């Protein structure tokens, strides 16, 4: 699957930018870079201006389960390796990233094979190396594996499929983390609230010599 | 919902309007105020941005299980106020000869004005007379002076912010105060000045000041695409259809998909519209003395082409054969960049209005260039609300910059340092998009597909559309300009510059959603379908008030002109009715 197709679904403002013309596709900007179980029926997801056909479709997606328990565990471990807890905020799993990825796989079925297949690829690599799957391996073993697929420019032979999978996991994890309550607080986004706009603060204008 | 149910209408309306978008809403507003009894057929459902059951404004991304990602139903994201999209179930359209036309439709009260970009540009004097200037296309049968009084009126009625700049082809207007530029926009102002690229406050129909009792003023949430609970941004549903309903002269029939305009075989005059009730699939008829088409440019052409009778074998109002032809969309190309001086920015709320605060109107002279028509540039950037796609593709970016301690940083990665990269780059991205004028051509058209029908049994449109070198070279120039601006700002352009093999990044026709020209106006009935009042040459009680009558569209987004022209045509209908001519 080409990156471009996976990017297709990225909507307006997804880059965290204001003033973005709605007709500009994120994929257009990014493409050339080529190279919840218990939350399932969360009422917070209901009632935000849905049409009947959207409510029906979302209910159907919530009722389904795509990933197996094993796959969900693998996704959780990977997500926390990608975005761990640090002094400023919690980890990807704290922010509900695995549940979000489960939902996205149902919402955008084009994600299913790259994710399921990516996990299977990872497990088969680990079995070759250590005779056990990714989540059964030790932290040190897991990190050694991640080191081989987390850096696209290292181009280690035999790793290209793993690199593609890890990039997808990184991007989904970032999407899920930074758009969560925890992530939004961490990144310092201060809008989405009525206010009066009067230009950037004085000290900022000074800092940039404008 | 108090849908107006009619099978064989007991009354004959003064006017039937098809469609409730920019053109239809304005016609309903004007005609009902003048006392006409109006029936509006709307294919979609009711919508009111202030009704809690429709509100998506001020919701957080995590209130959407997909974190605001787009779906087939919401192509511009899960919170966008558009019901419809590029593909609507059961309502296909087709293409031929490898055409890649894309058609965005909304099925709701207000049409596409609930979530449009609110960029509200008047055409300038030159935009009505392009043929006289460069010999291409056709002049309009009217000029700026004919439309100016109506632009003035809609400025006052609807409200638009901007600044008077005394530019030759971007007329000054009755503007509300423009919001101050954001940080990246201040940088653009500074650097574009050095490059000689005119950059001025944008012109958007958003109320930075209250203008009447019915509508509030903007509270700067940057979410006009979600439609405003305060009605502080223009949409036809809240600003035109709603007041029109208050006159008690308007009946809106929802879920009413017009099939064809009916005519009296004796007089050849329009006398009604047949439509499908999309809920019951029943065929119904409504009668009226005047019919106004406002279903959007392509849909109105489809209606005429499908309204065939013995008297009008080529479709209604089509003795010239031009209906469907001269279809043209704006050109578009865009580029993103990252600006390292913006790394680790101070955080504050810079949402602003729902769109850019500055833009660049066309600043060059085409006589000195290898393409005939101009474009404007729209900008974006800043510390917006994260949603699905945030940080996507960081593996192509973070390897370009040393870390905070000046050490080389490998692309990709994971863990604490990766987490920190997202924070560092937040608010450092900018982007820009050109929106230009294409030359209208007879051989870019929509027609009735000889085989396919939609689920209502109505024959569908088939598109044939090719760009020419006029548009390709313009897109090339856009990309050269983007790189100049990015370089001047000290930014790093992302991705590769598209070359000739990719049409220089020119968007596919239709993608910019300014499709116009399909029922064009003119003085010569052999070369146009409508006269200068948007009245059919062949059928005097038939009018078209969406973007179909446009002869050309400048590099200005078309909606402000749809509104002004719809007001003008509606006033003409009222005068002609008074004079007993209709
Ligand atoms: C994302 C986006 C951003 C945009 N940004 C801008 C911008 O910044 N500036 C600008 O000038 N323009 C912009 N536009 C374009 C603008 O929205 C359109 O030009 C404008 O809405 C056209 O008005 P209209 O009246 O022709 O048709 P529409 O607004 O499309 O309304 C047509 C209505 O007719 C109804 N209808 C269609 N067929 C039938 C039928 N057979 N029977 C009954 N009803 C029917 C539809 O359901 C719809 O409600 C944007 C569009 C989009 C989608
Ligand atoms: S930016 Fe202003 S006008 Fe637009 S939706 Fe927000 S408050 Fe309303």
pLDDT, residue A23, reads 53
- A194 CA distance to ligand 2 middle (Å): 9
**What is each CA distance from B510 to B183, B233, B329, in whole angstroms?**
32, 24, 6
| Residue B224, ligand 2, Cβ within 6 A | yes
The answer, yes or no, to whether residue A130 has pLDDT greater than 90, is yes
The answer, yes or no, to whether residue A16 has pLDDT greater than 80, is no
pLDDT, residue B404, reads 84
Alpha-carbon distance B209 to nearest alpha carbon in chain A (angstroms): 12
Strands in B297-428 per DSSP E: 331-338, 358-360, 375-381
Residues in chain B: 582
- B61 CA distance to ligand 2 middle (Å): 17
pLDDT tier for residue A46 given thresholds of 50, 70 and 90: low
With a cut of 70, list the residues of chain B below it in pLDDT: 1-10
- B336 CA distance to ligand 2 middle (Å): 25
Nearest CA to ligand 1 atom 49: B111
Please enumerate in sequence order all residues whose Cβ is within 8 A of that of B101, keeping only pairs 6 or more positions apart, or say none. Answer: B95, B463, B464, B465, B508, B509, B510
In this structure, which ligand is nearest to the CA of A194? 2
Cβ count near A191 (within 10 Å): 23
Please enumerate in sequence order all residues whose Cβ is within 8 A of that of B548, keeping only pairs 6 or more positions apart, or say none. Answer: B293, B297, B298, B300, B301, B516, B517, B518, B519, B520
Q: Which residue has better confidence, B229 or A32?
A: B229
Look at the block and give the residue holding tokens 């010999």: B135
Q: Which residues of chain B neighbour A81 with C-beta distances below 8 Å?
A: 414-415
Task: Tell me, yes or no, if A202 comes closer than 8 A to chain B by beta carbon.
Answer: no
In this structure, which ligand is nearest to the CA of B58? 2
Number of A–B residue contacts, CB under 8 Å:
342
The rounded distance, in Å, linking the Cα atoms of B423 and A99 is 23
By the 10 Å C-beta count (0-12 exposed, 13-18 middle, 19+ buried), B25 is classed as buried
pLDDT, residue B127, reads 98
ipTM of the complex: 0.94
Strand partners of residue B492: B338
Cross-chain CB nearest to A179 (options B67, B222, B511): B67
CA dihedral sign of residues A156, A161, A164, A169: negative
pLDDT, residue B11, reads 87
Under 8 Å between Cβ of B94 and B462: yes
Task: Tell me, yes or no, if B401 comes closer than 8 A to chain A by beta carbon.
Answer: no
**What is each CA distance from B83 to B40, B43, B87, B135, B512, in whole angstroms?**
19, 11, 11, 41, 18
The pLDDT mean for chain B works out to 96
pLDDT, residue A4, reads 40
pLDDT in tens, B90-110: 999 999 999 999 999 999 999
pLDDT, residue A155, reads 81
pLDDT, residue B1, reads 37
- A173 CA distance to ligand 2 middle (Å): 30
Look at the block and give the residue holding tokens 């009226």: B288
pLDDT, residue A20, reads 61
Under 8 Å between Cβ of B261 and B304: yes
pLDDT, residue A24, reads 57
Give chain B's count of helices (H) and strands (E).
Answer: 10, 18
Nearest CA to ligand 2 atom 8: B228
Under 8 Å between Cβ of A184 and B347: no
The rounded distance, in Å, linking the Cα atoms of B234 and A75 is 44
pLDDT, residue A18, reads 64
**What is each CA distance from A8 to A5, B42, B139, in whole angstroms?**
5, 31, 39
Cross-chain CB nearest to B411 (options A28, A151, A198): A151
Cβ count near B123 (within 10 Å): 27
């Amino acid at each position: 699957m080409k990156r471009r197709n996976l990017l297709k679904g990225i909507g307006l403002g997804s880059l965290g930018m204001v003033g973005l013309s709605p007709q500009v596709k994120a994929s257009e900007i990014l493409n050339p870079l080529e190279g919840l179980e218990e939350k399932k029926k969360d009422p917070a997801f209901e009632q935000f201006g849905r049409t009947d056909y959207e409510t029906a479709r979302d209910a159907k997606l919530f009722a389904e389960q795509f990933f197996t328990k094993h796959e969900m565990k693998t996704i959780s471990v990977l997500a926390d390796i990608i975005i761990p807890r640090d002094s400023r905020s919690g980890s990807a799993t704290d922010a509900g990233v695995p549940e979000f990825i489960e939902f996205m796989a149902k919402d955008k079925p084009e994600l299913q094979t790259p994710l399921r297949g990516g996990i299977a690829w990872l497990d088969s690599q680990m079995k070759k190396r250590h005779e056990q799957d990714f989540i059964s391996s030790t932290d040190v073993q897991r990190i050694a594996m991640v080191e081989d697929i987390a850096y696209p420019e290292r181009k280690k032979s035999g790793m290209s499929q793993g690199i593609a999978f890890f990039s997808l996991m990184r991007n989904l994890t970032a999407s899920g983390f930074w758009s969560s309550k925890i992530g939004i607080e961490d990144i310092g986004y201060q809008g989405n609230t009525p206010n009066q706009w009067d230009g950037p603060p004085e000290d900022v204008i000074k800092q940039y010599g404008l | 919902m108090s849908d107006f149910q009619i099978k064989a209408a007991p009354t004959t309306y003064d006017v039937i309007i098809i469609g409730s978008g920019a053109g239809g809403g304005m016609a309903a507003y004007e005609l009902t105020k003048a006392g006409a009894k109006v029936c509006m057929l709307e294919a979609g459902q009711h919508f009111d941005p202030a009704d809690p059951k429709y509100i998506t404004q001020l919701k957080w991304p995590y209130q959407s299980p997909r974190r605001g990602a787009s779906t087939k139903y919401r192509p511009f994201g899960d919170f966008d106020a558009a019901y419809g999209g590029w593909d609507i179930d059961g309502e296909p359209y087709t293409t031929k000869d490898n055409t890649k036309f894309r058609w965005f439709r909304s099925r709701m009260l207000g049409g596409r004005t609930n979530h449009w970009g609110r960029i509200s540009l008047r055409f300038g004097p030159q935009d009505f007379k392009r043929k006289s200037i460069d010999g291409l296309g056709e002049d309009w049968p009217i000029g700026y002076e004919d439309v100016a009084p109506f632009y003035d009126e809609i400025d006052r009625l609807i409200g638009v912010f901007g600044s008077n700049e005394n530019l030759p082809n971007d007329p000054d207007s009755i503007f509300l105060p423009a919001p101050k530029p954001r940080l990246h926009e201040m940088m653009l102002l500074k650097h574009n000045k050095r490059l000689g690229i005119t950059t001025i406050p944008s012109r958007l129909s958003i109320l930075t000041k209250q203008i009447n009792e019915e509508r509030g003023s903007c509270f700067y949430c940057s979410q006009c695409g979600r439609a405003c609970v305060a009605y502080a941004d223009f949409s036809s549903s809240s600003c035109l259809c709603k007041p029109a309903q208050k006159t008690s002269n308007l009946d809106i029939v929802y879920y009413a998909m017009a099939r064809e305009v009916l005519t009296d075989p004796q007089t050849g005059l329009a006398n009604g519209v047949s439509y499908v009730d999309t809920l019951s699939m029943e065929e119904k008829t409504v009668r009226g003395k005047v019919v106004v088409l406002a279903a959007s440019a392509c849909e109105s052409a489809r209606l005429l082409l499908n309204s065939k009778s013995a008297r009008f074998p080529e479709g209604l109002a089509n003795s010239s054969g031009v209906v469907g032809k001269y279809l043209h969309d704006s050109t578009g190309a865009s580029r993103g960049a990252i600006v390292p001086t913006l790394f680790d920015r101070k955080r504050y709320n810079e949402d602003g209005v729902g769109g850019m605060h500055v833009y660049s109107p066309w600043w060059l002279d085409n006589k000195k260039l290898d393409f005939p028509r101009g474009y404007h540039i729209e900008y974006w950037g800043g510390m917006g609300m994260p949603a699905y796609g945030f940080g996507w593709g960081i593996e192509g970016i973070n390897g370009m910059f040393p870390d905070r301690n000046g050490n080389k940083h490998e692309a990709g990665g994971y863990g604490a340092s990766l987490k920190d990269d997202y924070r560092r780059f937040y608010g450092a991205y900018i982007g820009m998009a050109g929106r230009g004028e294409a030359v209208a051509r007879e051989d870019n058209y929509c027609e009735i597909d000889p085989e396919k029908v939609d689920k209502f049994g109505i024959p569908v449109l088939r598109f044939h559309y090719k760009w020419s070198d006029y548009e390709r070279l313009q897109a090339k120039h856009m990309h050269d300009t983007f790189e100049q601006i990015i370089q001047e700002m000290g930014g790093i352009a992302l991705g590769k510059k598209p070359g000739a093999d990719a049409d220089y990044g020119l968007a596919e026709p239709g993608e910019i959603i300014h499709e116009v020209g399909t029922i064009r106006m003119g003085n010569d009935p052999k070369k146009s379908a409508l006269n200068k009042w948007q009245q059919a040459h062949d059928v005097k009680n038939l009018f078209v008030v969406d973007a179909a009558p446009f002869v050309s569209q400048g590099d200005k987004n078309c909606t402000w002109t749809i509104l002004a022209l719809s007001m003008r045509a509606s006033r003409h209908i009222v005068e002609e009715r008074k004079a007993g001519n209709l």
